[in-house]
Amino acid sequence: MENQKVLILDFGGQYNQLIARRVRECSVYCEVKPYDLPIEEIRRFDPIGIIFTGGPSSVYEAGSPHPDPEIFRLGLPILGICYGCQLLSHHLGGQVTAAQADSAREYGKTPTRFDADCRLFRGLPEESVTWMSHGDYMAKVPEGFRLVARSEACPTVGICDEERGFYGVQFHPEVNHTEYGREMLRNFLYGVCGAKGDWTMSDYKREAIQAVRAKVGGGKVLLALSGGVDSSVAAALLAEAVGSQLSCVFVDHGLMRKNEGDEVEAAFSRWNINFVRVNAEERFLRRLAGVTEPEDKRKIIGEEFIRVFEQEAKKIGAVDYLAQGTIYPDVIESGRGDAAVIKSHHNVGGLPDYVDFKEIIEPLRMLFKDEVRQLGRELGLPEYLVTRQPFPGPGLGIRVIGEITREKLDMLREADYIFRDEVARAGLAGTMSQYFAALTNMRSVGVMGDGRTYDYAVALRSVQTSDFMTADWSRIPYELLDKVSVRIVNEVRGVNRVLYDITSKPPATVEFE
């Protein structure tokens, strides 16, 4: 039986992925589509409701994005968020203008009052904090709508026409700063759209396995297994679906964390698949010798990975399908049509031309990262693999600042292991979004025992984030930092100093290179 679906129309807002994640957290399936999705495609999608996202434009400007007006005659509930709220007003007879006074523009946390009789706010406090980000103002609301939320600066923070199921809010219920935002979205999904909550990961696993089997039949599948969460979960799903018809090429480039290669190999020993581990450390280190520029390192590692994978694929012979661990944020961020391209992903934009295959398979294409982890657990992957820290494609190659050598990699592996080990011992592993060590290119004078040292400094990095677009540095207890520092300096030969990075993103990035 097909899941109920909610359609999210993208008008260029920065929180669009977050809206989709919040909807799915309510056990309701949704997809993000371009704002100009044709009406016939919307009908084929058959949603139980529609959400208009925010966006940077003004609805009254020439060239600003607008949906087909027919969408308001489909008889479907609609929730407009920020720009989406202004679209509702603009298209249905209201008036939206630029705020004439600075006081009418609202940004950041804002005390807001609500009409608890409105289904969107039913069961919630009559006053709470919301997150505003708008410079336009609804000077007139459409006929049939009533005002259901207001702030000190703006009387038109929330509007609704409950007979038609149209709701609009100027704030962002999807962000954590809006105190009861998740509950408001849940009210829309269940109280307005009639959602049943039929989106579960066990159902997804069963349906995805059936879909892969139906597509592949008796064919052969090839997957480049990096050892990261996405490719590992994709490999486990494919292994469940087609077993020995799957070949996984695991390129161990020598730039992984301590014990990681062995852990990946052990995790897949339970399945009857063709698991090929290629120990290519020497080859990568030769190519990287003397290279110091981060972008050069990235390109060399990426190109060498492809070359090694190509060689192994030729040994395997003809395959019918190439599999990839593409996930939903990759698809959204890569952009489609008029959507802005935030970043390009090698596994979305173009297909390799060095492997002869009929078609590409991306079994995780519609999942967010937290959903991928849930699926990994459903498939029986070990927790150390499912909860693995985010890891860049070039691996430790961009956490060793400057030239890469085996000696530096070994130092970094040990220091990083100690940091992660102490965080786990302190019971804080689940409280930080990402944490790791980097080996700086700085050497400094130190004293160990009665001798003078001139050794490297290790930098520790830990951040808190919901989307990795922005991130704040973690307030790690001093006692924990002290333990980590003492262990690294005592146990890692060649390191005499430990630093902690307290820079947020922006202006910094999460990784050092």
Closest alpha carbon to 433 in 457, 409, 465:
465
Convert 237-259 to b/e letters by CB count within 10 Å (16 or more is b): bbbbbbeebbbbbbbbbbbbbbe
91 is catalytic: no
Residue 59: C-alpha distances to residues 15, 50, 82 (Å): 18, 18, 11
Query: Does the domain at residues 5-192 carry the CATH identifier 3.40.50.880?
Result: yes
Tokens of 493: 């030969």
pLDDT band at residue 506 using 50, 70 and 90 as cut-offs: confident
d(CA 10, CA 32): 6
Closest alpha carbon to 332 in 21, 4, 41, 84:
21
**pLDDT given for residue 434 in this prediction:** 92
d(CA 204, CA 368): 13
3-class secondary-structure state, position 481:
helix
d(CA 428, CA 389): 13
Residue 417: C-alpha distances to residues 35, 65, 335 (Å): 46, 49, 37
**pLDDT given for residue 118 in this prediction:** 96
**pLDDT given for residue 346 in this prediction:** 39
Characterize the bridge pairing of strands 158-161 and 166-169: antiparallel
pLDDT band at residue 103 using 50, 70 and 90 as cut-offs: very low
**pLDDT given for residue 344 in this prediction:** 34
CB contact at 8 A, 222 and 249: yes
CB contact at 8 A, 81 and 54: yes
**pLDDT given for residue 339 in this prediction:** 37
3-class secondary-structure state, position 177:
coil
Instruction: Region of 494 please: left (phi>0), alpha (psi -120 to 50) or beta.
Output: left
User: Would you list the domain boundaries of the chain?
Assistant: 5-192, 201-386, 399-500
pLDDT band at residue 348 using 50, 70 and 90 as cut-offs: very low
Q: Do domains 5-192 and 399-500 have the same CATH topology?
A: no
Closest alpha carbon to 311 in 384, 388, 361, 251:
251
Angle at 476 between CA 438 and CA 427, to 5 degrees: 100
CB contact at 8 A, 414 and 427: no
**pLDDT given for residue 135 in this prediction:** 67
CB contact at 8 A, 434 and 462: yes
- The overall longest dimension of the chain from CA atoms, in Å, is 84
Catalytic one of 90, 134, 172, 253:
172
263 is catalytic: no
* pLDDT more than 90, % of the chain: 63
The helix or strand, by DSSP H or E, that contains position 85, with its residue range, turns out to be helix 83-91
pLDDT band at residue 430 using 50, 70 and 90 as cut-offs: confident
Catalytic one of 26, 85, 160, 174:
174
Q: Is the backbone peptide bond immediately before 390 cis, with ω within 30 degrees of 0?
A: no
Average predicted confidence (pLDDT) for the chain? 88
Which class for 345: exposed (0-12), middle (13-18), buried (19 or more C-beta within 10 A)?
Answer: middle
Question: Within a 13 Å sphere around the CA of 253, how many CA atoms are in the beta-carbon half?
Answer: 29
Q: What are phi and psi of 359, to 5 degrees?
A: -155, 160
CB contact at 8 A, 379 and 233: yes
Tokens of 193: 């759209």
**pLDDT given for residue 356 in this prediction:** 61
Look at 20-29, 100-109, 358-367, 381-390 and tell me which has the smallest mean pLDDT. Answer: 100-109
Catalytic one of 30, 82, 193, 248:
82
**Which CATH architecture is the domain 201-386 placed in?**
3-Layer(aba) Sandwich (3.40)
Tokens of 163: 């007979």
CB contact at 8 A, 513 and 294: yes
d(CA 176, CA 78): 22
**pLDDT given for residue 490 in this prediction:** 95
Look at 119-123, 235-239, 332-336, 379-383 and tell me which has the smallest mean pLDDT. Answer: 332-336
Q: Which residue has the tokens 């946390």?
A: 109
d(CA 128, CA 111): 6
pLDDT of 68 higher than 90 = yes
**pLDDT given for residue 287 in this prediction:** 95
3-state percent breakdown (helix, strand, coil) of the chain, nearest 5: 35, 25, 40
Tens of pLDDT, residue by residue over 251-266, are 999 999 999 999 989 9
131 residue type, one letter:
W
β-partners of residue 495 are: 456
pLDDT of 30 higher than 50 = yes
What average pLDDT does range 89-109 have in this prediction? 72
| DSSP at 471 | B
**pLDDT given for residue 340 in this prediction:** 36
Q: Is the backbone peptide bond immediately before 506 cis, with ω within 30 degrees of 0?
A: yes
d(CA 496, CA 407): 15
CATH of the structural domain 399-500, one choice from 3.40.50.300, 3.30.200.20, 3.30.300.10, 2.40.50.140: 3.30.300.10
407 is catalytic: no
Question: Within a 13 Å sphere around the CA of 177, how many CA atoms are in the beta-carbon half?
Answer: 14
pLDDT band at residue 238 using 50, 70 and 90 as cut-offs: very high
Name the pTM for this structure: 0.74
d(CA 399, CA 393): 11
d(CA 417, CA 233): 23
Tens of pLDDT, residue by residue over 436-487, are 999 999 999 988 877 888 999 999 999 998 766 678 999 999 999 999 999 9
Closest alpha carbon to 43 in 17, 76, 10:
76
Better-scored residue on pLDDT, 176 or 168: 168
pLDDT of 347 higher than 80 = no
Q: Which residue has the tokens 């703006």?
A: 154
Residues in the chain: 513
**pLDDT given for residue 385 in this prediction:** 87
**pLDDT given for residue 46 in this prediction:** 96
